[in-house]
Structure 1
Amino acid sequence: ALSVVAQSSRAGRRWPTVVGAAPMVTAAVVATVVVIAGRLGDELPRPAALPTGALVAVGVPLAVLGTVLAVRALPRVDRATLTTGAQFANAAATATILLDPSMLTSLVESRRWRRIGRVRSRRFLPGPAWWALLQADVRRLRRHPSALLIWAGLIGVQYAAALALPGLAGATQVVFAYFATDRLTGGLRAVSRSPGLRRALGGSDAALRGIHVVVPAVGAGVWWLLTLPSLPTLDAGPTWLAPTLAVGVVAAAWRAGTRPPINYGGATVNTPFGMVPVDLLRQGSRGPALLAVLVLVQLFLG
């Protein structure tokens, strides 16, 4: 209901998807905080829980009020807002059916750069070609601040997960480190998925990809160091485990970022559950498969 009200506002007509999703994301964050507070409450003294009747007396009027406001706001939700949401819904459904998340992420990235529109151009610092490419990759992050915000927000998510599930703190650190590093691989994905761009930049493909993995590697290292205090000291594992997992996370992000376009002409296997596109699963698991191995290593050795 709050998403409908938000989309009918002026900000919702300008950024319908972001504004419409904000209330749902807020609800998810509140639910996470409640779960964590409940776990902490088992160990810390707290007042008696509110009776169920009081919760119902507060929650039901709020639900009714939100529904009334949403119904009144429906006439203000214009066609552009609905069309934008339909495009994202269609892209998400197609990406799910064809097992190709890039169909959704490419739409999101295209809309983001079109919203930026025009930027102020500045000269790079003098130096060799690799130095200019590295500056361009850093400047890409400056023009896409949400990547850094998500990177920093995942630090708090890791600490929250460590409080809620202390036994799985090491595994969650590996998973969230991969997500944080993946947010910094925009330049690597752009170079790897565009042969024309690589020919225009010149040099070998390995050199171009190696230059664009510097920023994700540095970001992964800093993120890993900032989240080390969230791990129990008694379950740290061997001394070589942490740096090995950090390097493995960078390798997983590298494999995901350099994945070639999906080929839909691969083999399928007839199973009792229907036709399973094993080749599509193999191509889509490039990166996440290595991440799963790292999680298993951490669980057994951490």
Structure 2
Amino acid sequence: MIAALRRADLGPVEIGLLVFVGGGLLVQVLRPSRVAQVVALSSGAAAHPGLVVSGVVVGVAASVFAISSRWGPVRVDPADLRWRLAGPADRSTVLRRRAVTVLGVALAAGAAVGGLTATLVPELAVVAVGGAAAGAAPGYVLAYLRQRRRDRRHGTTPPRASSLSPGNLHRKTFAPRDGYSGALGLALTMLDVSWLEEARVTRWQRARVRAGGRSLPGGAASALMRVDLRRLLRHPDALVRWSVSVAAGVGAAVLLDFRHAETVVAVLAVYCAGCSVSGGLRVSVRSAALRRATGLSDRFVYGCHALIPVLGTLAAAAVVLPWWSLSPVAAVILAAGTAVAVLRRGLRPELRYDGPVTADPMTGSAVNLQLFFAQIRGLGALAVTLLVAGAF
């Protein structure tokens, strides 16, 4: 972030001013007295604040391990490998600097999570911040050891077991050509995380491409639904994200007591769970080759492919919503409306960053309306659902 600000021609004084002013505003907004007006620990969790802090530390360690293992704790761009690290010089210094940078980011993220926890348990603020920051370290170390173990399959002469230097890693380990580096840059630039999802799917397809396929006996509806189920089982991380979203919704209801907008939290958990199992919906529904091959109507194909996202959303709602103090009518409305929002999100068109730009005569700002409406598709239906359910 600091490097990005420096590239924007901001000097140390401007950067320091932004950091101190932003930090001061953040401290004022997240004061424990202000946070307590919106959310507080439930009576059961407030009786055991130490367990809450311990759970946060364990969660930080597990999250850092999972994310670092997925992306690689030591990683450089393929371009850096070609132009900076392909020579005869030792690359240990550059890779060690990258490892320290990622570790610092993990520690800072853990400290930020601990700071948010400290707003709920101010009496254990120091323990929460320090413990969450320290919990990121073992998660990163375990991810690095896992990366070294995987590295043995690439190297011709495995390094000594006592050598932990990143310079011993193979280039296929610390600079894989999986498209994640470019996707992360696009996600940060465009503020659209769908680039990461597309890179993940592309990586999976390249690693598991096969010739031919097996036939699916049975009716058309049964074949289409089994294809969707097979695609879902190929990506177990979708089921993991569904489980995490459901666990977050239940955990928030058990551990936290919301003074305002508790319905929004419950619906967002169900919405995230439904979106996690709706991957590939747009491509499947709009496949012209599939319609020509089967001779089925668009509505029939859409109904078959929409079954798994709808069932995933309704299953998440059946698990999450009973933990919140909602009336039966409001729960039904929220479940149905969230399913519609998930379908609309899964069917949103491709994001056109080169679409026509409209200038606002009042402010003079430029707005890409096609991009804007595509990005908020599904969220509008979610907002309408919350408004309607609020009447009950």
Per the TM superposition, whether the score is higher than 0.5 is yes
Structure 1 segment 22-171 matched on structure 2, within 5 A: 39=120, 73-84=165-176, 87-95=179-187, 97-98=189-190, 101-117=193-209, 124=216, 126-162=217-253, 163-167=255-259, 168-171=261-264
Deviates more, 1:200-209 or 1:264-273: 264-273
The C-alpha deviation readout for 1:50-80, integer Å capped at 9, x for no partner, is 977xx69x95xx79x97xx99x643245444
Aligned-residue offset at 1:133 = 0.8
Matched, 1:17 2:71: yes
Alignment of structure 1 residues 238-257 onto 2, 5 Å: 239-257=328-346
Q: Is 2:367 the partner of 1:265?
A: no
Question: For 1:92 and 1:149, how far apart are their aligned partners in 2?
Answer: 21
Letter of the structure 1 residue corresponding to residue 166 of structure 2: L
2:269 is paired with a residue of what secondary structure? helix
Q: Secondary structure at the match of 1:229?
A: helix
Residues 225 and 76 (structure 1), Cα distance of their counterparts in 2 relative to 1, 3 Å cut: same
Give the stretch that moved more between structures: 265-274 or 200-209: 265-274
Q: Residue in 2 aligned with 1:45?
A: none
Matched residue type, 1:227: V
- Give TM-score, length-normalised by structure 2: 0.56
Q: Calculate the aligned-residue CA RMSD, in Å.
A: 4.6
Render the CA deviation track for 1:127-178: whole Å, top value 9, x for unaligned. 3111111111112222222211211121111122222353443211211111
In the TM superposition, what are the counterparts of 1:160-199 in structure 2 within 5 Å?
160-162=251-253, 163-167=255-259, 168-199=261-292
CA distance in 1, matches of 2:335, 2:267: 8
Structure showing greater radius of gyration is 2
Structure 1: give runs of 5+ residues left out of the alignment. Answer: 43-47
Letter in 2 for 1:231: W
The equivalent of 2:98 in structure 1 is none
Is residue 175–residue 295 contact of structure 1 (8 Å, CA) maintained in 2? no
CA contact (8 A) 2:250 2:323 kept: yes
Structure 1 counterpart of 2:322, which letter?
A: P
2:314 aligned residue (196, 216, 221): 221
2:384 is the counterpart of 1:289: no
CA contact (8 A) 1:192 1:257 kept: no
More displaced 10-residue stretch of structure 1: 199-208 or 98-107: 98-107
Could you say what secondary structure the match of 2:366 adopts?
A: strand
Partner amino acid, structure 2, of 1:17: W
Q: CA deviation at 1:189?
A: 2.6
Distance (whole Å) between structure 2 residues aligned to residue 75 and residue 114 of structure 1: 28
**Number of residue-to-residue matches in the alignment:** 275
SS of the residue 1:186 aligns to: coil
Q: What is the CA–CA distance in structure 2 between the aligned matches of 1:208 and 1:282, rounded to whole Å?
A: 25
Q: 1:262-294 CA deviation, whole Å, 9 max, x = no partner?
A: 343333224647322233101221112222333
Higher RCO (CA < 8 A, seq sep 6+): 1
The amino acid across from 1:184 in the alignment is V
Unaligned 5+ runs, structure 2: 1-60, 76-101, 146-163
The change in CA–CA distance for 1:99 and 1:137 in structure 2 (over 3 A counts) is: same
Give the Cα–Cα distance (whole angstroms) in 2 for the partners of residues 136 and 130 of structure 1.
10
Comparing 110-119 and 178-187, the one that deviates more: 110-119
C-alpha deviations, 1:221-275, integer Å up to 9, x for none?
111111133203xxx14x3221111111111111111222234333322464732
Which residue identity is paired with 2:343? W
Find the aligned partners of 2:323 and 2:167 in 1 and give their Cα distance.
48
Higher helix share: 1
Contact 2:238 2:276 in 1 (8 A): yes
Deviations, residues 188-215 of structure 1 (Å, cap 9, x unaligned): 2331354344434431222211101111
* Matches of 2:125 and 2:377, distance apart in 1: 48
Bigger Cα displacement from structure 2, 186-195 vs 154-163: 186-195
Residue 280 of structure 1 is matched in structure 2 by 371
Q: Identity across aligned pairs (percent)?
A: 28
1:122/1:81 CA distance change after superposition, 3 Å: same
The verdict on how the C-alpha distance between 1:49 and 1:280 changes in structure 2, with shifts beyond 3 A counting, is closer
Q: Taking structure 1 as reference, are residues 130 and 102 closer, same or farther at Cα in structure 2, changes over 3 Å only?
A: same
Asked whether the 8 Å contact 2:245–2:273 carries over to 1, the reply is yes
Measure, in 1, the Cα distance between the counterparts of 2:250 and 2:112: 16
